[in-house]
Amino acid sequence: MTFQDEKALLRAHYAALAKATPGNVGAILAERTSDDWHWRGMHPFYEQHGAHAVADSFWAPFLTAMSRVQRRQDILFAGRNEIDGFDGTWVVSMGHLMGLFDAPFLGIKPHRRIAMLRYAEFNRIADGKIVETAMFCDLLHLMRQAGQYPLPPQTGAHLVQPGPATHDGLLFDDADPAEGEKTLTLVNRMIGDINAHQRYESPQDELRRSWHDDFIWWGPEGIGATYTIDRYVEQHQRPFRTQIKDRVYNGHVARLAEGNFGGFFGWANLTVTNAGGYMGLPSGKPADMRVVDLYRRDGDKLAENWIFIDMLHFLHMQGLDVLGRLKQT
């Protein structure tokens, strides 16, 4: 099993995008995507079909706002999708899109300094074309960088989040398939522990089965990052499990691994109800959480976890229109 053609296609796609302008980005996107390309984006972009719709929705406005954009990629891996019986091939990329924030974007006012838009992207490739994409980015973090943060203080810390501590996340060469199988098996075991967490005496006992004690949970803006099992329990897991109720697991669209890296995304992974207080909001109606989780395995346990959540959509479903408020200020 080799993923060299798919990786080469995505790298060529990114190289072409690096030279794109707001005026020609639609044509550049069309070069390596299918006519019916299905693109999933975060609020307010949502689902688009075809290169020019994606350009009009996301890329042209982004390139208008951000000058001299660089893709600073930290992770790239490929694999077959467990969810469809290991039929489809996906290539995953994670990092930051860095530019000079020179013009308004989605109502966010520019500060003319470096801005880093954190992203994770899943791309399904078939017959030499990108046919399906999920593009997650952390818009709340962009607001914080621009000095326009709209939410109460978060429980963890958010930084310009680094890539793997081992600096080996760019799998341009294919990894040993046996290592990817180990990673996917461990990720699945960890998911099973989450779904059956009541059988463990403590959250720490649950987590120690799959996680190193000094693991890093690189959470999204609005929640923040945590370090070590105990701080993860204190700063993320306990608030989530005590302030969220009626959790419904909807499944994943893609779940795959290569080497020591793996991950998944859902649309939506979870539907939950805020029981009161989560992210500073009162109790509300059910809302969707569209989530990306990317993992680095170290030996027989997980060492790092990068998370992206469509926070603006989650908040919007609870009646908080963050972008609408920005445009009124």
pLDDT tens digits, one per residue of 69-97? 999 999 999 999 999 999 999 999 999 99
pLDDT above 80 (res 328): no
Q: Tokens for 230?
A: 């105990």
| Region at 277 (left for phi over 0; alpha for psi -120 to 50; beta for the rest) | left
Q: Which of 3.40.50.620, 3.10.450.50, 3.90.550.10, 3.30.70.100 would CATH assign to domain 4-145?
A: 3.10.450.50
Give me the mean pLDDT over the 114-133 stretch. 98
Q: What is the pLDDT of residue 81?
A: 98
Give the span between the Cα atoms of 103 and 114, in whole angstroms: 12
Taking the domain 177-328, which CATH number applies?
Answer: 3.10.450.50
Q: What is the pLDDT of residue 282?
A: 76
pLDDT above 90 (res 197): no
pLDDT above 90 (res 65): yes
Q: What is the pLDDT of residue 157?
A: 85
Which position has the higher pLDDT, 181 or 275?
A: 181
Give me the mean pLDDT over the 42-67 stretch. 98
Q: What is the pLDDT of residue 1?
A: 77
Give me the mean pLDDT over the 188-197 stretch. 87
Q: Is 95 exposed, middle or buried (0-12, 13-18, 19+ CB in 10 A)?
A: buried
- Answer yes or no: same fold for 4-145 and 177-328: yes
Q: What is the pLDDT of residue 155?
A: 85
Report the half-sphere exposure of 232 (CA within 13 A, side-chain side).
20
284 pLDDT band (50/70/90 cuts)?
A: confident
Q: What is the pLDDT of residue 278?
A: 84
Nearest to residue 89, comparing CAs of 206, 256, 223?
A: 256
Q: What is the pLDDT of residue 153?
A: 83
Q: What is the percent of the chain where pLDDT is above 70?
A: 99
Give DSSP secondary structure letters for 69-130.
Answer: EEEEEEEEEEEE-GGGTS-SEEEEEEEEEEEEE-S-BTTBPP-SSEEEEEEEEEEEEETTEE
pLDDT, tens digit, 9 for 90 and up, residues 200-214: 889 999 999 999 999
Least confident of 3-7, 25-29, 317-321: 317-321
pLDDT above 90 (res 49): yes
Give the span between the Cα atoms of 303 and 217, in whole angstroms: 9
Beta bridge partners of 125: 89, 130
Q: What is the pLDDT of residue 182?
A: 98
Q: What is the percent of the chain where pLDDT is above 90?
A: 86
Contact 280, 152 (CB under 8 A): yes
Q: What is the pLDDT of residue 80?
A: 98
Give the span between the Cα atoms of 313 and 209, in whole angstroms: 33
pLDDT, tens digit, 9 for 90 and up, residues 235-266: 999 999 998 899 899 999 999 999 999 999 99
| In the chain, domain spans | 4-145, 177-328
Q: What is the pLDDT of residue 146?
A: 96
13 pLDDT band (50/70/90 cuts)?
A: very high
